Chains A and B, each alone.
Chain A
Amino acid sequence: MATVSMTVNGKSVSGEVEPRTLLVQFIREQLHLTGTHVGCDTSQCGACVVHVNGDSVKSCTMLAVQADGSDVTTIEGLANGDTLHPMQEAFRDNHGLQCGFCTPGMVMSAVDLLKKNPKPSEGEIREWLEGNICRCTGYHNIVKAVQQAAQA
């Protein structure tokens, strides 16, 4: 077993993990933050995207021990109390979700995009979201949501 310590959504946390524990398992099973989803076992769907030291990563493709000492933000860390983050609000306004399974990863990925490219074109949004798969919406309203958030 190994001890890992990190900051998750602004709070210091630590836990005992096996070296083979994935970051997403640590987040969901030990911290009980179940907003981060797992949609595949091939690192391709993006349902598990969180931020590690400010960059979006697939938490199913990183070991908890690799995140030791880092600053992690999950979907639960975005809203400010009852006030949704502008990206969450934009997904709601634009019907950017149906079943909602892909949504936490989509939102976390889109927030990273706007940090690096505050005014993306439609093409840049679609290209950036290549690692996030949605089986419901057809992506159109997701792209509209990101465009609205970029205006906010």
Chain B
Amino acid sequence: MQVKINGKAAELPDNSSLKDLLLARELPLDVVIIELNGEIIHRGQWEALKLSPDDSLEVLRIISGG
């Protein structure tokens, strides 16, 4: 299925969970924050939450800034 991640189209196996995606992309789980279709998804829900086609994901992290 196709979803959008940080504005770019991406292919994922059907039935992927949010956590599957993060692991596949080798993202440090404790650092990122996820917004799914404009809503913040808290860490505890990542495993259970299955993605659907055309979902739009924002994957963000804290960086340095002034």
The finding on whether chains A and B are genuine partners in a shared complex, rather than unrelated, reads: no
B-contacting residues of A (Cβ < 8 Å)?
none
